[in-house]
Amino acid sequence: MTEPSFHSKLAPPGFTKKGWLMLTVSALVIAVFLFSPPLTLLDKTQAIGYAVCHQIPARSFHLAGQPLPLCARCTGIYLGALLGIVGMILLRRYHSVEFPPPALLVTLLTFTGLMGIDGVNSYLSFFPKLPHLYEPQNWLRLTTGSLHGLTMSALVFPIMNGGFWHASRAKMEPVIKNFRELLLFLGGIMGIILIVLWEQPFLLYPLALLSTLGVLLMLSIVGSMFVLILTRQEGAARTWSDLILPGVMGLAIAILIIEAMGGIRAILIGATGLRL
């Protein structure tokens, strides 16, 4: 009897030798990241932030005398995305494959537009001779970033579900169904904003961990989808166990992306002397 191909199954039971090999390699990548320098938890979060964020001190929140690993805007983006995905899971939308209804989608995209406007205005403020609409503020960066993070999660989550689940498991329903549900998410976003603006020292570790967890989550989703496409297994999962291998491989890919981006940034800064 011939051994089933790697493409035929991506999760136990029925792991192939290639499947176990890829799981082992992915686990090693994750282990190396966890147990290699920097070793402290806070330094790990700073390393993740270094790969995806400019980390300009003046544009970051400081708790207990230390800046968060992500700037104000990125803190909002990834906390908002994390809240959105957790919220949709709590609403049991983990099989839903449809975007929010048109009116909701327009509202969510407006949030992204607001962040774009604030981002352009903030960038123009780097150049004193150029006009800008208003004085940039970290609370505005945090607020517009959080709203965009929610939008990002509402767009990514149904795409992810559609890529993961077999048609027999997928549900043709929106991940956010109506404005009542959107208000629940906006309440959570308001909570995030108030907690970050509180800037209490004891919040340093929770906010650092949760914001960088948002980074890892979003990159892991991208990595998992890449694995499914590469192995021609998109839309094939029937059980949660079918997602073990693409999930672990997705996290490993996310870590490799972070390491690569951090390395490239360090090289560019060393070569140009510019703060990137």
Q: Read off the pLDDT of residues 228-267 as tens digits, 9 standing for 90 and up.
A: 998 888 899 999 989 999 999 999 999 999 999 999 999 9
Q: Looking at the domain assignment, is residue 52 inside a domain?
A: no
Confidence (pLDDT) at 170: 95
User: Residues of the chain with pLDDT > 70: what percent?
Assistant: 93
Count of domains observed in the chain: 1
Q: Looking at the domain assignment, is residue 188 inside a domain?
A: yes
Instruction: Give the single-character DSSP code of 173.
Output: E
Strand bridging mode 96-98 / 171-174: parallel
Q: Looking at the domain assignment, is residue 141 inside a domain?
A: yes
Q: Beta partners for 237?
A: 165
- Comparing CA positions, the residue from 221, 208, 211 lying closest to residue 254 is 221
Q: 142-191, pLDDT tens digit by residue?
A: 999 999 999 999 999 999 999 999 999 999 999 999 999 999 999 999 99
- Could you check whether the bond before residue 101 is cis, i.e. omega within 30 degrees of 0? no
What does the alpha-carbon distance between residue 260 and residue 126 come to, in Å, rounded to a whole number? 28
Banded model confidence at residue 2, pLDDT cuts 50, 70, 90: very low
Give the relative orientation of helices 138-164 and 72-90 as an angle to the nearest 10 degrees.
40
Q: 53-93, pLDDT tens digit by residue?
A: 999 999 999 999 999 999 999 999 999 999 999 999 999 99
Instruction: Give the single-character DSSP code of 97.
Output: E
Banded model confidence at residue 15, pLDDT cuts 50, 70, 90: low
Q: Looking at the domain assignment, is residue 1 inside a domain?
A: no
Q: Looking at the domain assignment, is residue 6 inside a domain?
A: no
Confidence (pLDDT) at 11: 42
Taking all residues of the chain, what is their mean pLDDT, rounded to a whole number?
92
**Between these two residues, 236 and 218, which has the higher pLDDT value?**
218
Q: Looking at the domain assignment, is residue 25 inside a domain?
A: no
- Mean pLDDT across 25-33: 95
- Comparing CA positions, the residue from 183, 160, 186, 158 lying closest to residue 172 is 158
Residue 10 has pLDDT above 90, yes or no: no
Q: Looking at the domain assignment, is residue 198 inside a domain?
A: yes
User: Residues of the chain with pLDDT > 90: what percent?
Assistant: 79
Residue 6 has pLDDT above 50, yes or no: no
Q: Looking at the domain assignment, is residue 28 inside a domain?
A: no
Confidence (pLDDT) at 59: 95
Residue 13 has pLDDT above 60, yes or no: no
- Does pTM surpass 0.75? yes
Domain coverage including residue 78: 71-262
Residue 140 has pLDDT above 70, yes or no: yes
Confidence (pLDDT) at 18: 82
Banded model confidence at residue 7, pLDDT cuts 50, 70, 90: very low
Distances (CA, A) of 275 to 38, 81, 98, 270: 21, 27, 41, 9
